[in-house]
Amino acid sequence: MVQAIRIAIDAMGGDNGPATVLAGADIALVRRPELRYQLFGEERAVVPLLESYPRVKAASTFTHCDVTVQMDDKPSQALRKGRWKSSMWRALDAVKKGEADVALSAGNTGALMAMSKFCLRTMAGIERPALAAIWPTLRGESVVLDVGATINADAQQLIDFAMMGGAMARALLDIEKPTVGLLNIGVEEMKGLEEVRVAGQLLREADLKHLKYMGFVEGDDIGKGTVDVVVTEAFAGNIALKTAEGTARQISTHLRDAMSRTLMGKIGYLFAKGAFQQLRQKLDPRASNGAVLLGLNGVVIKSHGGTDGVGFANAIEVGYSMAKNDFLSKINQDLSDYHRAGFARGVAAIVDEGVM
């Protein structure tokens, strides 16, 4: 018998709430019949809709929650009103209690991060969580983290991110020993931030069993797929992610304008429709929907709030793979390798030695 993968879902999250969530749950279930859902939300909003998705209904339990975290609630506000009883909290709590393998929400990112930390706590040996994105590249996909959780990460935190990102690449991209790069800037004089340099030296020395440290990478290496895991602190990481999204949209707009401006362009478009279709798939942000909040005692997936059923199904698939491939034991393995290697107090030592 195939083991069930249990996903606890905040059915109220996202711009369209349950409509998108249930459509996505249905799509995912066709691909992965062993999925089991625990849906949390407002009864009146979810239950009637559930009737339209008999497959989802048969694979789910539903729990009514009085409180819904709003997209514009501040994290502190969301915690105050939504702790213990909101649909977002209850999904996280199901993971905490061991009743679900993964928690998933398309709701308010700040609230989800705050609640996740509060409910699930960070793993032993990890100081701060990181938000990891799956980034489509010329070679396939890479993991990029942190794209929004811990700004001003120090060297030790960057090393933690490297291990978490490595374990995620092993679980999700099925790479045995992922390559890891630290995002840095190439301007000679600067040589980047001190934290990045210290983290780099330690990762090189640690020579970990499950990841291959490749040195510094620059912004344009992300899209090239130079490494499987790109590590950075959240300010630069979030800006890189949003800038890439903006650039992709900009080029798509230019392309559409160019093709529709002349008759020849329109005719060419008709002939090359299949090619454009293929390009559209490559650029489809839904295909890489589902960021993972790493470093907690449990797997938490954040879906984009504005996605549709196809995108939400993708976020479920991310959660499915993380659970199926046992991300949590992989990251624990990496952490204990690292600590066994005696690098736990490495950062202070490096700085003291004045090597940098």
CA distances to 12, 89, 105, 303, 312 from 47, rounded to whole Å, are: 12, 19, 18, 22, 19
Residue 146 beta carbon to its own copies: minimum distance, rounded to whole angstroms: 10
Residue 302 beta carbon to its own copies: minimum distance, rounded to whole angstroms: 10
Q: Which helix (H) or strand (E) holds 135?
A: strand 130-136
Residue 348 beta carbon to its own copies: minimum distance, rounded to whole angstroms: 21
Residue 13 beta carbon to its own copies: minimum distance, rounded to whole angstroms: 14
List the structure tokens of 269: 């478009």
Phi, psi angles (nearest 5°) of residue 311: -65, -40
Identify the CA nearest to 337 among candidates 239, 210, 233, 153: 210
Identify the CA nearest to 304 among candidates 282, 325, 323, 287: 287
Q: Which residue lies nearer to its own copies by CB, 30 or 239?
A: 239
8 A C-beta contact, residue 228 and residue 132: no
Q: Which residue lies nearer to its own copies by CB, 286 or 330?
A: 286
Residue 239 beta carbon to its own copies: minimum distance, rounded to whole angstroms: 4
Residue 296 beta carbon to its own copies: minimum distance, rounded to whole angstroms: 15
The residues, any chain, with a CB within 8 Å of residue 308's CB and separated by 6 or more, are 16, 20, 23, 24, 286
Q: Which residue lies nearer to its own copies by CB, 1 or 264?
A: 264
Q: Which residue lies nearer to its own copies by CB, 113 or 203?
A: 113
Q: Which residue lies nearer to its own copies by CB, 39 or 103?
A: 103
How far, rounded to the nearest angstrom, does the alpha carbon of residue 98 sit from its chain's CA centroid? 21
Residue 103 beta carbon to its own copies: minimum distance, rounded to whole angstroms: 17
Residue 305, Cβ density class (10 Å: 0-12 exposed, 13-18 middle, ≥19 buried): middle
Rg of the chain taking only CA atoms, in angstroms: 21
Q: Which residue lies nearer to its own copies by CB, 82 or 309?
A: 82
Q: Which residue lies nearer to its own copies by CB, 4 or 244?
A: 244
Q: Which residue lies nearer to its own copies by CB, 96 or 128?
A: 128
Residue 92 beta carbon to its own copies: minimum distance, rounded to whole angstroms: 15
Neighbours of 32 (CB within 10 A): 17
Identify the CA nearest to 290 among candidates 322, 256, 258: 322
8 A C-beta contact, residue 192 and residue 198: no
How far, rounded to the nearest angstrom, does the alpha carbon of residue 167 sit from its chain's CA centroid? 13
List the structure tokens of 342: 């005696």
8 A C-beta contact, residue 163 and residue 331: yes
Q: Which residue lies nearer to its own copies by CB, 239 or 355?
A: 239
Residue 129 beta carbon to its own copies: minimum distance, rounded to whole angstroms: 11
